[in-house]
Homo-oligomer: A and B are copies of this chain.
């Protein structure tokens, strides 16, 4: 088996670079001390997420293409949750020396395929040796000024909505989910959400973030929570990595794929007791 040791640092960079064509807004991509890009229009969004072998995937088990895909997808989901458009990414890799070249190729192919679907440019990065395989990606996006959606804008009386159905990420969806970028942009355009977040740690925990940041409480209509086929309500509420959108809006929304699950109330009253979602430590 050919391992990355045979390529060396510059061989690896060269191998990755060959797969990349600079897209719109890239003035200077991979190959300099820093990438040079055209600044965002409106405001710039910046997010960063990492994945680690043994925690977020299993090197010997998870298909490498899905690992690469997931790394970008979880970052895309964060830009989606702001109502933004993803633009450019930088990637750092901690590579174990006995990693097969095939694994690296498939990882990059999975990542770059999803990048090309969303017209995201990989503009730079860094490669290190590591005893544990890990990868970190920073994603830049943009949003018209004043149009980005935070976690802190929920107001008493707003309705609480989720996209899609919840639960079951553990059965594979966490590797193959579609980031809700288009849905988020449509939600922003049509429904003027007061707050929005992506569900990465379970509905209850992520709702907790909106409530804390907005200093409000919530009444959840448990029966209305859309549960994925074959899942329990508890899974739908607490499983991590659904990557659906959770948002609040003063509007009464009746739209396919969007479900009303509750209402924002004053903070003291009927405070949701946040059951623990996925805990990382």
Q: What chain B residues lie within 8 Å of A4 (beta carbons)?
A: 281
Instruction: Say whether A102 faces chain B, with CB atoms less than 8 Å apart.
Output: no
Residue contact A46 to B41, C-beta cutoff 8 Å:
no
**Which of the residues B95, B125, B143 comes within 8 Å of A48, measured between beta carbons?**
B125
Of A130-138, A164-172, A224-232, A263-271, the segment with at least 4 beta carbons within 8 Å of chain B is A130-138
CB distance from A151 to the nearest CB of B (A): 5
Identical chains bound together, number: 2
Instruction: Say whether A161 faces chain B, with CB atoms less than 8 Å apart.
Output: no
Instruction: Say whether A12 faces chain B, with CB atoms less than 8 Å apart.
Output: yes
Against B, the Cβ 8 Å flags (1 = close, 0 = not) of A14-43 are 000000000000011001111111111111
Size band of the A side of the interface? 35 or more
In whole angstroms, what is the CA distance A47 to B50 when docked? Answer: 16
Residue contact B129 to A132, C-beta cutoff 8 Å:
no
Residue contact B128 to A131, C-beta cutoff 8 Å:
no
CB distance from A230 to the nearest CB of B (A): 28
Instruction: Say whether A273 faces chain B, with CB atoms less than 8 Å apart.
Output: no
**Which of the residues B27, B50, B92, B150 comes within 8 Å of A128, measured between beta carbons?**
B50
Residue contact B94 to A150, C-beta cutoff 8 Å:
no
Instruction: Say whether A280 faces chain B, with CB atoms less than 8 Å apart.
Output: yes
Of A80-88, A107-115, A254-262, the segment with at least 4 beta carbons within 8 Å of chain B is A80-88
Closest 4 CB pairs of A and B: A39-B39, A34-B47, A33-B81, A132-B132
With A28-B150, A50-B128, A136-B136 known, 11 other A-B pairs at CB within 8 A are: A5-B281, A8-B281, A9-B280, A31-B151, A33-B198, A35-B45, A48-B91, A49-B92, A50-B126, A52-B94, A55-B128
